[in-house]
Amino acid sequence: MPILEVRELEAGYGPIQALHRVSITVEEGELVAIIGANGAGKTTLLMAISGIVPARGGAVLFRGQKITGRQPHEVVRLGIGHSPEGRRIFPRLTVRENLELGGFAQVDRGQVGRDIDEACGLFPILGDRMGQLGGTLSGGEQQMLALGRALVGRPRLLLLDEPSLGLAPLVVAKIFEVIAGLSARGIAVVLVEQNARAALRLAARGYVLETGRITLTGSGSSLAADPRIRDAYLGE
């Protein structure tokens, strides 16, 4: 059974239909990339999976269980982490408080402490910045904090929205290295990226989203080799 199954999902804002019968599946521990241009509906897709944007049709199944129509905090508690576009860390909370909130739904406080230590193991800079306010971090550090915060929630599935946007190449490399390691820890990932080349290199499979529709799907390497993709998204 796939960990995530999105079936003919429809979603939008007011008169604008942002997703048209979008279907994707993600297997346990699999890294799946969603690529597409600005405004194609990538963020809306993740927001609809999390329940922030209500679905107008279709269904989202998490481990076989229908989660469409649930409140976002309930979806998170089922084991779906979401690191949103623009990082959205809490700027006037400390790094430690940000990480602690990642484990908000955890009952076992000791476990949260260990998970915070683990996140700091992945991104040692966070450990040095524990007492600082989130808003004082650099963009790269904020992205690490956003990822760390999502991981402290112990997700089975992690939705990552543009984790490399606007970051220096060295930081991007570090972030992608951590993302690549998530599969090994059994965490499935849906990676939305403008940096299609890097995303397809990491991903087992990918989907191409164009104006709210899935137009192409395949393994990461086959998509990267597809002339249409190379032309439109890889700039070759």
Partner 1 sequence: MSVQFFLQQCLIGLTNGALIALVALGYTMVYGIIGLINFAHGDLIMLGACLALSIVTALGLAAAGPTATWLGIAMLVVVCGLFCGGLNLAVDRIVYKPLRTAPKLAPLVSAIGVSFIFMNIGLFWIGPADRSFPELLPAANLLPGEGLQFTWKDLLVVLVVVPLMVALSLLVKSTRLGKAMRAVSQDATAAALVGIDVDRVIAATFFIGGFLGGAASVIYGLYINTIGFQMGFQNGLYAFTAAVLGGIGSIPGAVVGGIVIGLVRALSSAYVGERWTGAIVFAILIVILVFRPEGLLGRRTREKV
Residues lying near partner 1 in the complex (CB under 8 A) are found at 50, 52, 71-73, 76-77, 82, 84, 88-93, 97, 100-102, 104-105, 149-150, 153
Which is closer to partner 1, CB of 122 or CB of 165? 165
Compute the distance between CA of residue 62 and CA of residue 83 in angstroms, rounded to an integer: 18
- Phi, psi (degrees; rounded to nearest 5) at 87: 70, -50
Which is closer to partner 1, CB of 43 or CB of 220? 43
- Shortest CB 50 distance to partner 1, Å: 6
- Shortest CB 110 distance to partner 1, Å: 15
> Which helix (H) or strand (E) element contains residue 16?
strand 16-26
> Which helix (H) or strand (E) element contains residue 198?
helix 196-202
* Alpha-carbon Rg for the chain in angstroms: 17
Burial readout 64-92 (b: 16 or more C-beta within 10 A, e: otherwise): eeebbebeeeebbeebbbbbbbebebeee
- Shortest CB 219 distance to partner 1, Å: 30
- Shortest CB 99 distance to partner 1, Å: 10
- Shortest CB 26 distance to partner 1, Å: 18
Residue 48: name the closest of 88, 7, 87, 86 by CA. Answer: 7
Compute the distance between CA of residue 45 and CA of residue 95 in angstroms, rounded to an integer: 28
Which is closer to partner 1, CB of 9 or CB of 158? 158
Q: What 3-state class would DSSP assign to 111?
A: helix
Which is closer to partner 1, CB of 3 or CB of 89? 89
- Shortest CB 192 distance to partner 1, Å: 14
- Shortest CB 188 distance to partner 1, Å: 17
Which is closer to partner 1, CB of 87 or CB of 129? 87
Which is closer to partner 1, CB of 37 or CB of 78? 78
Inter-residue long-range contacts of 114-118, CB under 8 Å, 24+ positions, other chains counted: 115/151, 115/152, 115/154, 116/148, 116/152, 118/151
Which is closer to partner 1, CB of 23 or CB of 94? 94
CB 44 within 8 A of CB 19: yes
